[in-house]
């Protein structure tokens, strides 16, 4: 399964409230509908993980951005997504100069406690019909 040309795909933890809020945040600010989405737990998400040799975890610990036939994870994915949103959000990309092991330390800290801090759902989100076309699978 390959993504449509020129469409970056954001893979996210579909049962995580924080992750779903982050997806909603991107959808609301992605005026050009640049990004597509798939839950990591979905068949489409699992196929992309396999295609890019990223092991599937029962409890995902990273957002994944598939863009230009490359996979980005953790803070690198988040910063590339911010860049893709344009406007003031793209200024966050300046943090890319910080070594990834430092950025990812803070990313992993939030990821570790996200269920405790923000809760989780029993199933993946179901987008409304208007947004559904931007979700794979």
Residue 109 tokens, joined: 């800290």
Q: Give me the mean pLDDT over the 5-18 stretch.
A: 87
pLDDT of residue 42: 92
**pLDDT tens per residue across span 42-89:** 999 999 999 999 998 877 889 999 999 999 999 999 999 999 999 999
In a domain, 125, yes or no: yes
pLDDT tier at 121, thresholds 50, 70, 90: confident
Residue 62 tokens, joined: 């990273």
In a domain, 17, yes or no: yes
Structural domain range at position 21: 9-132
In a domain, 1, yes or no: no
pLDDT tier at 123, thresholds 50, 70, 90: low
pLDDT of residue 125: 59
Assign 121 to helix, strand or coil: coil
In a domain, 52, yes or no: yes
In a domain, 2, yes or no: no
pLDDT of residue 124: 60
Q: What are phi and psi of 135, to 5 degrees?
A: -105, 135
* Of 132 and 96, the one with more pLDDT: 96
DSSP code string of 63-109: -EEEETTEEEEHHHHHHHHHHHH-GGGGGGGGGGGS-HHHHHHHHHH
Q: Give me the mean pLDDT over the 29-53 stretch.
A: 94
Assign 122 to helix, strand or coil: coil
* Of 73 and 130, the one with more pLDDT: 73
In a domain, 4, yes or no: no
Indicate the number of domains in the chain: 1
* Distances from the Cα of 77 to the Cα of 29, 61, 130, angstroms: 17, 12, 25
| Contact assessment for residue 50 and residue 57, using Cβ atoms and an 8 Å cutoff | no
* Of 123 and 94, the one with more pLDDT: 94
> What are the beta bridge partners of residue 36?
9
* Distances from the Cα of 113 to the Cα of 16, 42, 61, 106, 108, angstroms: 11, 23, 10, 11, 9
> Is 90 exceeded by the pLDDT of residue 30?
yes
Q: What is the pTM of this model?
A: 0.88
In a domain, 13, yes or no: yes
CA–CA separation, 50 vs 92, rounded Å?
29
In a domain, 65, yes or no: yes
- Beta-carbon contacts of residue 39 (< 8 Å; ≥ 6 apart): 11, 12, 13, 14, 15, 45, 124, 125
Q: Give me the mean pLDDT over the 104-131 stretch.
A: 82
């Amino acid at each position: 399964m390959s993504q449509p040309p020129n469409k970056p795909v954001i893979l996210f933890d579909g049962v995580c409230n924080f992750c779903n809020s982050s997806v909603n945040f991107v959808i609301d600010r992605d005026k050009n509908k640049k990004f597509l989405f798939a839950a990591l737990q979905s068949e489409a998400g699992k196929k992309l993980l396999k295609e890019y040799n990223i092991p599937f975890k029962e409890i995902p610990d990273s957002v994944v951005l598939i863009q230009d036939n490359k996979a980005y994870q953790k803070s690198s994915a988040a910063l590339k997504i911010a860049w893709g949103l344009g406007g003031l959000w793209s200024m966050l990309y300046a943090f890319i100069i910080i070594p990834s092991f430092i950025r990812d330390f803070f990313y992993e800290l939030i990821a570790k406690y996200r269920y405790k801090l923000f809760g989780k759902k029993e199933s993946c989100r179901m987008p409304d019909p208007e947004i559904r076309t931007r979700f794979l699978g």
